[in-house]
Amino acid sequence: MNKIFPGLVSVLALTVISCSANNNKPAASDTSLLPVETKKPNTDYKPAFAGQTRIAGVKTHTVYETKILTKKLNSPWAIASLPDGRFLITQKGGTMRIASQDGTLSEPITGLPRVNDDGQGGLLGLTLDPAFSSNRMVYWVFSEKTPEGNLTAVAKGRLSASEKMIENARVIYRATPAHNSSLHYGGRILFDKTGNLFVSTGERSDLETRPQAQYLNSALGKVIRITPEGKPAAGNPFEHKADARPELYSYGHRNVQSLALNPATGDLWEAEFGPRGGDELNLIRPGKNYGWPVITYGIEYSGPKIGDGIQVHQGMEQPVYYWDPVISPSGMAFYSGDLIPEWKNNLFIGSLSGTHIDRLLIKNNRVVGEERLLSGEGQRFRDVTQGRDGALYAITDQGRLYRIGK
């Protein structure tokens, strides 16, 4: 791919095998394409079912454009579309910015609680209230330093009319126990269709906290579901279970930095970091156990197996898809626009260590094709969202904002 400079549009004219725009079913000749992953895996572990990893590659048929709108963001972490077509963006150090579609940036928005931005911490995911146009409420996740240690916290506040500050910011939830680690905070947040919030957490990485992903009395390594006031949402799977936290929705996760609702089905999907190998894409069902650290398709960074080195265990869910080597999946979004019809209902995932945007075709809750977009940019893609104009917008750790569309 040609190097792209600010204001210069690079046209990605990809001659391809066609895909159905309506049901994501690849044409028969798609299956002859090699998987996009060509590197040797870290293990000789076998997938639990065909197509669970290294699925056949696909290519986008539509001619689309990629444009860098700005390079001036400071370690952006999450991006959300505002009603007027602009974007609200969190920056790891503790401020937000508004970006216009031409790349113009606001001054940093202040008024947020102080973040602990050591390591993987900082100002993380954000989402807008469904009634943002009238109430201007914003919800976000951040890493908070407390006397007991660091933790993942959720806060809310109102974007002022001047757009210079967040008013009446307050913490509504803390994922305890706190721990003196600067790793694996999770940090994504989104509204479900009932007006409650899904929030992801990590198990904080250390060997001593890793088992807490399996503990129902801990908020570490979980997807939680809370009200806009931070209380456990009604109908959660463990709300009447003794010795279990009522806010828990699913458990057995390592470090979830990806959450998205499928607009066609309403299903919740997540992606999480594996260790050395074993990044996962999961379809989240309430009350289910996703296995970490008992089962995994990865190994320790130093090489040994994790636990008993098993990948299947009764009562634990299999990932719909996994990557080995890892791509480090960060923010993700399903595409529901009409600008590029063949992308309809495809899942797009920002890849950090993989330095690309991963496009997945999903049919009957199985991945049936994979493509890597913008792999020549050398960027760590932190988050991706769909704009009001039907294009995809992505932010990178290096401070770029991209538009991908026609």
Q: List, as one string, the DSSP characters of 218-260.
A: --TTEEEEE-TTSSBPTT-TTTT-TTS-TTEEEE--SBEEEEE
Residue pLDDT, tens place only, 37-56 = 999 999 999 999 999 999 99
| Distance, CA of 307 to CA of 254 (rounded, Å) | 14
Task: Tell how far CA 344 is from the center of its chain.
Answer: 19
Residues facing residue 200 across a β-bridge: 223
| Distance, CA of 143 to CA of 112 (rounded, Å) | 12
Spatial contact of 298 and 291, defined as CB atoms under 8 Å apart: no
Tell me the residue length of the chain: 406
Kindly tell me the sign of the dihedral angle through the C-alpha atoms of 403, 15, 336, 188: negative
299: DSSP letter:
B
* Position 136 in a domain: yes
Confidence of residue 17 (pLDDT cuts 50, 70, 90): very low
CA distances from 340 to 198, 347, 362 (A): 28, 13, 17
pTM for the complete prediction? 0.92
Domains held by the chain: number: 1
The pLDDT value given to residue 32: 56
* Position 59 in a domain: yes
- Structure-token pair, residue 10: 């690079």
Choose, from 61, 179, 184, 313, the residue flagged as catalytic: 184
On the question of pLDDT at 18 being above 90, the answer is no
* Position 2 in a domain: no
* Position 60 in a domain: yes
In the sheet with 149-159, reading across from the earlier edge strand, the strands are 123-128, 137-146, 149-159, 166-179
* Position 381 in a domain: yes
184 is a catalytic site residue: yes
Read off φ and ψ for residue 142, nearest 5 degrees: -150, 160
| Distance, CA of 196 to CA of 193 (rounded, Å) | 7
Work out the mean pLDDT of the chain and round it to a whole number.
93
Confidence of residue 131 (pLDDT cuts 50, 70, 90): very high
* Position 308 in a domain: yes
CATH number, domain at 256?
2.120.10.30
Residue pLDDT, tens place only, 189-224 = 999 999 999 999 999 999 999 999 999 999 999 999
Domain hosting 39: range is 10-405
Q: Residue 352 belongs to what H/E stretch?
A: none
* Position 223 in a domain: yes
Q: Is the peptide bond before 325 cis (omega within 30 degrees of 0)?
A: yes
Residue pLDDT, tens place only, 149-199 = 999 999 999 999 999 999 999 999 999 999 999 999 999 999 999 999 999
* Position 240 in a domain: yes
Half-sphere exposure of residue 241: CA atoms within 13 angstroms, side-chain side: 15
Mean pLDDT of 141-147: 98
Residue pLDDT, tens place only, 367-382 = 999 999 999 999 999 9
